[in-house]
A and B are shown apart, each in its own frame.
Chain A
Amino acid sequence: MEYFIELFLGGLTRGSIYALIALGYTMVYGIIQLINFAHGEIYMIGAFVAYIVCGVLTIYGFHGVSILIIAGLLAIVYSCAYGYTLEKVAYRPLRNAPRLAPLISAIGMSIFLQNYVLLAQTSDFLPFPSLIPNFAFMEPIAHIIGSPELVILVTTLVTMILLTLLIRYTKIGKAMRATQQDMSMARLVGINVDRVISMTFVIGSALAAIGGVLVASYIGQVNFYIGFIAGVKAFTAAVLGGIGSVPGAVIGGLVLGLTESFAAGYISSDYEDVFAFGLLVLILILRPSGIMGRTTKQKV
């Protein structure tokens, strides 16, 4: 039973990270129907910036929570900047192009960013300092759930609540929902659609950066390639939940995380990724619109 709970909590932690990244995919897809292939790379850049900032700060004598906060904030700032630039350079000129064009452009951007980090930094796995302190009150249950897991779960939960409030009540949130429903109509009522799309990328990138910092300090290493597999998993989560739907992305992330955790725990950890993709294929065959998605009729 204890093993089961351990796996369950591990899956939940993993799933909440997937959910954070998946939200970026879902929000972008909801508005411009584009799979932002380079989203995983934004996550990777967030983790890398945090790694660099941590390294510099540690050498200059900072320690503890101050590092975590500065590194986290800078990671978010840089990820947002990259997300914004990415949209402007690679996707905006292709707004009216056929569907395949932005998708290929996104793949190109993903390859470009990976190799940019590879060449500017290194191809080695770099040790990431564990920034999250061990809380004293966690001692009695530390064998089931550690402090890092708790921090990840709480951060994710808070981020989700903030995002929901943002989408539901703020002006930009309303503009985003309007653009998602009908882009030309939104333009007619005076919404600056380009700005809304940019903002969507920025918000998605911020979420990815939070995920990146959490994962890096949880797993303890970064590499230029971590964005690729995380991106694919998060996309799987987004599709599972129904792409375009925000609560769907969260549920999809959790389902995927739990599935992986249990499959790795009870069957075999070598084939972890196979289960994730298997689940994706299964969902796409049985229910292509995902768990929370609506089936939309295609119009001519």
Chain B
Amino acid sequence: MKNIKQSLAVSLWFIFLTFPLMVVKVNTSEQSVQWRWMNILWVGVGIFILSFIWRYALARKEANQMAAQSGQDGQDKPSKIHVLLENPEIRTKAILAFLAFVLVFPWVFDTYQSTIMISALIYVVLGLGLNITVGLAGLLDLGYVAFFAVGAYAYALLNYHFGLGFWTCLPLGAAFGGLFGVVLGFPILRLRGDYLAIVTLGFGSIVKIVLENWSDFSFGPSGIANIERPGLFGMQMDIAGSTTYIYYIMIAMVILTIVVTGRLKNSRIGRAWIALREDEIACVAMGIDMARTKLSAYALGACWAGMVGVLFAAKTTFINPASFTFMESAIILSIVVLGGMGSILGVILGAMILILLPEYLRAFSEYRMLIFGAAMVLMMIFRPQGIISNIRQKYEFKGLKEKSENV
């Protein structure tokens, strides 16, 4: 009864809150008002139900926290997926099956499907790149798409002015991205996390404004068209063939990214990033060069964005500043956050869900950003570790335990 009263109060509050925006719609040119009373009903009923779920979820979260505090390692329990993947036999089988599926994909489905898949894969690599900066090193970067733009424009302009090919530009794009990362990162990485977020946001906007206004350099808002597709030893390809080709390049890039970030994560520098994310002061006290470690994470993330930017330009053959808005940065960030910060598998899954779902559920694509926003909030409150959490590397001294049991 108390619950119902509470939910009723909440839903009344939200009806009040959403009243002007949801119900009233003014048309000043025709001097008419449209009253949409039905929306009150939707809001009221929706919030009534949601508030029950909300309370239940909060209570459960608190109970979990209590349990984690009283028991020693209730929280660090690996999830079922991790347990499954730990098993080497299942692991190899899963990877092989997945690889087989990925390789035959363009032959089974049509070009349209491959195109969608390519854009999803672009986001996978972007997500994994940002994962280095945000997930591993804990540096919130809200202007990530700027580096993506740098890569795309680097290829488009080099191709336009000097006729450089895709394969020459791929490393160049990565280099440009990394260079921008270092130049921007150097002065601002001494700042605390939240300042960094706002400065990177500003930097993202600056890049877009410059691209829009400096017409002599970037051709302004009209963008650059007729960018060369990647070539294969001078072979002529039709659109379907070239899509398949780009698809395979993309797959190779994803695999490369997974291998590199996977290796980096467990290297000396990767450990330093994670330590820095957890506690800066303790980390510096342990003798880690903070500026250099942060800078390397920032530059490496930027590097990947630059590289994918080249591929993006080659895939769409047309780029303009409108492709590089803050919303793109927000989407990439939500991929990392929803998938699970620091977890490679999580980020891949996050990208697939976030990019492919709206693509196939057209009716709901209008609500895409709304749902992303809500999901980011809910994820932070109820499952900050993401869909697939990153497991901590732990070292256990197994020998001692067995011995003590024997005694």
Contacts and interface: CB of A to CB of B under 8 A. Distances in A.
Pairing of A with B: yes
B20 A93 contact: no
Contact of B330 (A111, A119, A129, A277): A111
B32 A281 contact: no
B119 interface: no
Interface string A25-52: 0000000011100000000010011011
A267 interface: no
Interface string A136-159: 000000000000000000000000
B373 A110 contact: yes
A97 B199 contact: no
B33 A56 contact: yes
Given A99-B193, A104-B376, A35 B381 contact: no
B190 interface: yes
A202 to B, nearest CB: 14
A168 to B, nearest CB: 28
Contacts of B58: 93
Interface string B186-226: 01101101110111011101100110010000000000000
Interface stretch (B11-19, B110-118, B250-258): B11-19
Contacts of A258: none
Nearest to A74: B20
A127 B20 contact: no
Interface stretch (A4-12, A177-185, A209-217, A228-236): A228-236
A281 B188 contact: yes
A112 B373 contact: yes
Interface in A68-89: 74, 78, 81-82, 85, 89
A159 to B, nearest CB: 23
B13 A103 contact: no
A65 interface: no
B366 interface: yes
Chain B interface, >50% SS class = helix
Contact of A111 (B140, B187, B369): B369
A239 interface: yes
A184 to B, nearest CB: 19
B22 interface: yes
Contact of B377 (A48, A74, A98, A112): A112
A52 to B, nearest CB: 5
B72 to A, nearest CB: 20
Interface centre among B194, B201, B370 (most CB of A within 10 A): B194
A232 B198 contact: yes
A134 B199 CA distance: 40
B153 interface: no
Interface stretch (B23-31, B122-130, B397-405): B23-31
Given A228-B326, A274-B206, A288-B195, A51 B374 contact: no
B337 A104 contact: yes
B197 A35 contact: yes
Contacts of A98: 384
A193 to B, nearest CB: 19
Contacts of A93: 58, 61, 381
B150 interface: no
A271 B366 CA distance: 32
B372 interface: yes
Nearest to A50: B20
Given A85-B17, A108-B375, A274-B206, A100 B367 contact: no
Contact of B202 (A74, A280, A300): A280
B33 A105 contact: no
A85 B209 contact: no
Interface centre among B20, B39, B337 (most CB of A within 10 A): B20
B99 interface: no
Contacts of B13: 85
B375 A119 contact: no
B380 interface: yes
A121 B376 contact: no
B94 interface: no
B380 A102 contact: yes
Nearest to A97: B384
Contacts of A295: none
A277 B205 contact: yes
Contact of A126 (B28, B39, B197, B201): B28
Given A56-B26, A99-B193, A117-B21, A107 B376 contact: yes
B21 A108 contact: no
A52 B32 CA distance: 11
Nearest to A300: B281
Contacts of A236: 198, 202
B313 interface: no
Q: Which 10 A-B pairs have the closest CB atoms?
A: A108-B376, A55-B26, A112-B373, A111-B373, A277-B202, A115-B370, A108-B377, A105-B380, A270-B213, A115-B369
Interface of B: 13-14, 16-18, 20-22, 24-29, 31-33, 39, 58, 61, 138, 140, 142, 187-188, 190-191, 193-195, 197-199, 201-203, 205-206, 209-210, 213, 281-282, 326, 330, 333-334, 337, 366-367, 369-370, 372-377, 379-381, 384
Interface of A: 33-35, 45, 48-49, 51-53, 55-56, 58-59, 74, 78, 81-82, 85, 89-90, 93-94, 97-105, 107-117, 119-122, 126-127, 129, 228-229, 232, 235-236, 239, 270-271, 273-274, 276-278, 280-281, 284-285, 288, 298, 300
12 contacts: A45-B21, A49-B21, A53-B20, A56-B26, A78-B20, A81-B16, A85-B14, A90-B377, A97-B380, A108-B376, A126-B28, A274-B209
Given A103-B140, A108-B376, A270-B213, 11 more contacts: A48-B21, A82-B17, A90-B381, A105-B377, A107-B333, A108-B377, A113-B373, A271-B209, A284-B195, A285-B188, A288-B190
